[in-house]
Structure 1
Amino acid sequence: MGDDIERSDLMVASANDANKKAGDKATTSSITWVGYDAPQSIVPEAAVDIFARGAEDKLHSFETGLRATHEGKPSNNTILGHSYGTTVVGYTLRDKGLPVDNVVLIASPGAGVEHARDLGVAPSHVFAAQGDIDRIKNAPPESWEGFASNLDNNIGSTLGIVGNPDHHLSFGRDPSVPQFGAQIIPTGPGTDHSAYWNQRSPSLVAMGQIIAGKPI
């Protein structure tokens, strides 16, 4: 929890910097939500979607509560998931819908959908990041069709037939490939599964801009 709360603080600081640079006096707050039974192991628990399904009602209730209790004009709400958290976010958006303005999927093994528009949020407000050395990209596809698709596209890419190879992971299409339709968050060289929040990293700067409602 300490690491997660520190990341929340870093994103608030990044959003405040984005507002300051834009001359915007808006303020930002963050909540670290872990209100569900999360996987406690990569295999077998994080390899199945039962935990994501079990989180849907709880996350939906939490986010609708934020909207209902907020005073004044509607705030710009961003929901951000990391790793399996992106699967929780994606499943909930797909099955329940969420009253959010922006969706950020960091190091995702799949969000349960084939395209950003299937999340119920405009693709221009869906963002994804995957680091160059993040091993999440090796998460095996959820189906034989996914394996076949990956093999076909990987061979095509090697032969120069496919310029932007499609790719499927454990819970659907990789949100960081062009075919998914999300806006891509830049990452620095050497970004592994936990490096997206490194100080002054392009990904942390971009997260702050998204949260503040500024273009990346």
Structure 2
Amino acid sequence: MLDAPLCYAGVELQTSTGMVRLHAESSAVMLSGQQVAVLAVLITARGTPLSREAIWAAMPRGYRPPTTAQIGVVIANIRKKIGAARILTGADGWWMRDPIAPEPVDGTDVLSFGGLRLDVEHRYVLDGPARPIRLGPQGFAVLRILVEARGVPRSRRWIWSSLPPHDRPATIAAVGVVIHDLRERLGRNRIITGGGGWRLAGPAIPRPRTAEWA
């Protein structure tokens, strides 16, 4: 393991001693050798999600747990020491994000509706200040369509045809599977069935009457 400090997102890891300095809190904690190895991999990735297999493979051999499944246990223990908000989890694995970084505001790279905010550039969902969620490309693309619909129901066919070709499921019927997965991640009450399709919970923005266009 490198005998050098690693820094990212307000965390400074001294690999030789296992000491972690948390800049925002002006405090420090100690990690075990295995925890140091995992955190070093996450810091080096600099915000890129890594699967448990990728983390395990990047660790020095002498620090690897017996199985890749145990990576999750090691990360859970690290989160207890440095703060759960510093290591995020999603469909693609784990990654580090600075919990005190300013939250994005609505703009060209952030879409919001119904309490959800989509960071288009980094492809994750903010469900309140403490629950960032990273989705796969297909789920993110479908959710973006629902957010942009702003409470108006969209049919299965509408969603499928609106998706970029590389993000479309193999069949129109498979859109329902993506919706099911989104409900599992975001909560079943977030996506409502009705009106010939699906919509996000929240006040629908009515379409202007013909006279209002004049």
TM-score of the two chains, using structure 1 as the length reference: 0.28
Q: Which has the higher contact order (CA 8 A, sep 6+)?
A: 1
Structure having the larger proportion of residues in strand: 2
Pair member with larger Rg: 2
TM-score of the two chains, using structure 2 as the length reference: 0.29
